[in-house]
Amino acid sequence: MDFLKRLFTKEDIRKNLERIDPEKIPKHIAIIMDGNGRWATKRSLPRTAGHKAGIEALRDVIKTCSNLRVQYLTLYAFSTENWKRPEEEVSALMNLLVYYLRNEIQELNENNVRINTIGDISKLPQAALVEIEAAQKLTRENDGLTVSIALNYGGRLEIVNAIKEICRKVKNQEIEIEEIDERLFSDHLYTRGIPDPDLVIRPSGELRISNFLLWQIAYSEFWFSKIFWPDFNGKYLVDAILDYQERDRRYGGTK
Ligand code: IPE
Ligand code: IPE
Ligand code: MG
């Protein structure tokens, strides 16, 4: 940690911030918050200590996104596959979610953040549902950064659910098969109304997507880093944005 602090002096951040082109801020950033367990293991701490430490990174990233006027931030917090983990770890993660929302919601609200979730939250513990509901209700009218927390989220499940819903509508003659297009399909995903991510960030050294936003990332830009999530902060986010601003997004066309 100290070594990281020395690596980034205040001067560095200021210089990097000045290099950001305000006209090319990604509208939507999605982050796979990974590496908590390894961060803790490296320090001979229980994995759950890593999850707890990840909250500090979360705070800094939300603050930085708000300051930079990013409009949407989507955070992968718990996947449909994460239920495979030991029960103690799953329940520690759920408790942390409750703790996080309870403790941070006032400040998030004061910062004009709107809280949203994606994923099948019906499978979450009641205590978590209560906090989510309260957080959404409190921040509903905010028009700053929209933070979507992906909880019991899986890209494949999302696609399957969208297909089921569309099939039901066809069966009930609410829509015609010919009406199904990419736009209609997108409108049946959890992310309806939210533009596709411009930038996807995955720390922790893994170079994979792990079932995150499969449909939505068709033309996203990627930024990977070996840093573990608890060590991540606004400085890395600025690095990722600077890197993103150098990319030439052709969407299959020519320059
Ligand atoms: C990410 O960190 C948090 C969740 C998946 C909930 P991990 O717990 O996956 O940490 P590593 O990848 O094992 O280090
Ligand atoms: C992805 O991380 C899910 C979250 C960060 C919530 P995982 O740690 O679950 O992914 P894998 O197992 O390394 O692919
Ligand atoms: Mg992991």
221 in a known ligand binding site = yes
pLDDT at 146 over 50: yes
Is the pLDDT score of 1 beyond 60? no
Report the separation in Å between the CA atom of 219 and the middle of ligand 1, taken as the mean of its atom positions: 26
The DSSP element (H or E) to which 75 belongs, if any, is strand 72-79
Angstrom distance (rounded) from CA 82 to CA 105:
25
**pLDDT above 60: residue 175:** yes
Question: Does the annotation flag 202 for ligand binding?
Answer: yes
> Which ligand neighbours the alpha carbon of 51 most closely?
1
User: For residue range 186-228, what is the model confidence (pLDDT) as tens digits?
Assistant: 999 999 999 999 999 999 999 999 999 999 999 999 999 999 9
Task: Provide the pLDDT confidence category of residue 13 given band limits of 50, 70 and 90.
Answer: confident
What residues contact residue 188 under an 8 Å CB cut-off, 6+ apart? 161, 162, 165, 166
Decide if pLDDT at 11 tops 80: no
Known catalytic residue: 143? no
What pLDDT band is residue 8 in, cutting at 50, 70 and 90?
Answer: low
CA dist., res. 45 & res. 155, Å (int): 31
- By the CB criterion, residues less than 5 angstroms from ion ligand 3 are 34
Compute the distance from residue 36 Cα to the ligand 1 centre, in Å.
Answer: 5
Closest residue CA from atom 12 of ligand 2: 210
Q: How many CB atoms lie within 10 A of CB 127?
A: 13
Residue ranges per structural domain of the chain: 24-154+197-243
pLDDT per residue as tens digits for the range 84-104: 999 999 999 999 999 999 999
16 in catalytic set: no
- Domain at 24-154+197-243: CATH code: 3.40.1180.10
